[in-house]
Every structure is written in C-alpha cells, then in structure tokens.
Amino acid sequence: MPKHIIIDTDPGIDDSLAFLLALASPEVIVDGIVTIHGNASTTQVTTNALSILELAKRSDVPVYRGCELPLVQPSMLSPETHGNTGLGYAQLPAPQSQAQAQHGSDFMIEHIMSHPGEITLVCIGPLTNVALAIRKEPRIVQAVKEVFIMGGAIRHQGNTTPLAEYNTYVDPHAAHIVFHSGMPMILTPLDVTYQCIFTTDDLSRLQKIDSPITKFIADSTRFYMEFHDEYQKIDGCVINDPMTLALTFMPEICDYENLYVDVDISAGVGLGNTFADFYNYDKKSPNMKVALGVRPRMFMELFLERMEKLAKPNS
C-alpha cells in the first residue's frame, strides 16, 4: 500500500529533487505540498513548487502556501546557496496553476485529522508551519502517522553556523515546539546527508537522457555544486531533502538510534544547535529516531534510477 504524504518544503534546489523523487516513486502518494519561507521567500517557493509540478506534469498535486516568516526570528533566506529564485540556474516557465486558498497549516490539520493514522509528514524546510499546526490543533500529534524531518546536526558541524543546520537555525523556536510535541519523529540530520553527495559523474549519467527533467536537474545542481565548492570545498552537492524523502519508503538506507534530542533556543552562539543526550544525563525518554548511519550509494542508486525513469519519454 502506498504511503500518503504531505511535503512541507522551501524549494530550494534539493527540495525540488525530493519532489521529483516522490513523483517517481509508486511507494508514495503526494496528497499535498505546503510551502514555507526558507531557501527563498514564501511567494517565491510557492511559485517554484507550482513550476516544478508542471515540469513533472503533475499539476494535479495541490500546493498550499504556508507561513511568511519564522515564529520569532527574522527571515533568513539563502540566495548564496540556492540562487535568487531558489532554483539555481534553472529557468522554469511561470506556472499556469495557482496555490489553493487554504493556508498550509490549516490543510495539514484538516488532512491529518480526517485521515487519522494514515498521513506521513515529510518536513524538508524550517518547521514553522508544523509548529503552528500543533499549536492550532494539538490533536494532530496523535493523529499523524509519522513525521520525517530533514534538519539538525548531532555530531556533525553546522552548515549555517558552526553549530546549527539551516532548517533548525532559521526557525529554532518552531523546531523546539515540534521536537517537544510527542509526534512520532524520524530525524535526518547532516550527520547522514553530508555522506550523500550528488557528483558530476551522477549528473553525467542522468544527462544521457535528453529531457526537460534532466536539464532542470543539471541547471539547478550546477549552481548548488558551485556553492558547495566555494563555501565547503565539497566536490558535488549535498542532496539532503531527497535523502529524507527516500527514508519514507526505504528506511534501510540508514541506521537509527532512539534518542532524546533538543534544540537550543537561547540567544547566543548555540542558537538552532541540535544535540542528543547520548548518555541520558537528563533521564528523559527518547523523543525521536535519529538516522546516524547511512549507505550512501544505496540511496544514490535509488535516486538516479528513479530520475532516469521519470525523465525517459512517455514515462
């Protein structure tokens, strides 16, 4: 039986690759996309989400606009990482379709509450919408099936500050609400995503297929690779979000530990830092499963095979 998922997202180059992987994977059905500020403004990421769905000929998937700003922090976009449009050098036509009128957090609540135990949330951006949904309707904590979260850095260094990962840094207060909510969470931190590097060799394999999909992947990831080279001396680009999405139907890509994980919301150098109580000093029960081991090529082979399938004509 395919899983019904809602993707909460700030597309974003790696977010767009997660969309494409979901749409190419019969194991999941995308019931809706909810957009959130992050890699670009909420207006821009909502336009991007609609354009990516049109690129994949899947405008049937509804898009819901989410929050404009973090709960407390000022907005912090990432043009240096994803480009001014959020999609690197890719240039997609303006979308013909429009976002739904309902707010993204309200769609999340309505859909989860009307399908108790059936909806999987895949959170690959700042957690503002999810935190707001929890505050509006606390019962979603029990009604949601599971929550996959791309975010945090446990033993790994940050990618936004020396300590903090981008999604938990942009809205640490939202992450705090979600982490302490009691939702059934599976966290995919930088500890595992930084081992999943999409390389020029991987891109060359996809470019054997002449398709608008492979052109988009090339144009968007070329910018992303330039960022990773300049800022982090990485040969390729870290595709955090499709890796998180893949775990919804291929959990064996990673190894997990049940841990108590918290996020620093103090106004200092540690803001947004996520940490695990490995020695259980605080005697608190684990609040999430954390992916700390990974089989990178198992993931990359899956991703490349599914992109080839999606890109082939008449696919």
Q: Which residues bind ligand RIB (CB under 6 A)?
A: 10, 12, 14-15, 38-39, 124-125, 150, 159, 165-167, 240-241
CA count, 13 A, side-chain hemisphere, 119: 25
Contact 154, 275 (CB under 8 A): yes
Shortest reach from residue 212's CB to Ca ion, in Å: 22
CB-nearer residue toward ligand RIB: 64 or 143: 64
CB-nearer residue toward Ca ion: 36 or 99: 36
Closest CA to 283 of 260, 258, 262, 264: 260
> According to CB under 5 A, which one of 8, 12, 151, 254 is a site residue for Ca ion?
12
Shortest reach from residue 134's CB to ligand RIB, in Å: 20
Q: Which residues pair with 187 in a beta bridge?
A: 149, 290
Percentages of the chain per state (helix, strand, coil), in multiples of 5? 40, 20, 45
CB-nearer residue toward Ca ion: 172 or 308: 172
Q: How many CB atoms lie within 10 A of CB 102?
A: 17
Q: How far is the C-alpha of 105 from the C-alpha of 232, rounded, in Å?
A: 34
Binding partner at 264 among ligand RIB, Ca ion, none, C-beta below 5 to 8 Å by kind: none
User: β-pairing, 3-9 with 197-198?
Assistant: unpaired
Q: How far is the C-alpha of 197 from the C-alpha of 229, rounded, in Å?
A: 12
Binding partner at 165 among Ca ion, ligand RIB, none, C-beta below 5 to 8 Å by kind: ligand RIB
CB-nearer residue toward ligand RIB: 120 or 244: 244
Shortest reach from residue 17's CB to ligand RIB, in Å: 9
Shortest reach from residue 150's CB to ligand RIB, in Å: 5
Contact between 242 and Ca ion (CB under 5 A)? no
Site string for Ca ion, 124-143 (x = CB under 5 A): xx------------------
Residues 6+ apart with CB under 8 A from 156: 189, 190, 191, 194
Closest CA to 105 of 2, 245, 6: 6
Contact between 66 and Ca ion (CB under 5 A)? no
Which residue is nearest to ligand RIB, using beta carbons? 166
Footprint of Ca ion on this chain (CB under 5 A)? 10, 12, 15, 124-125, 241
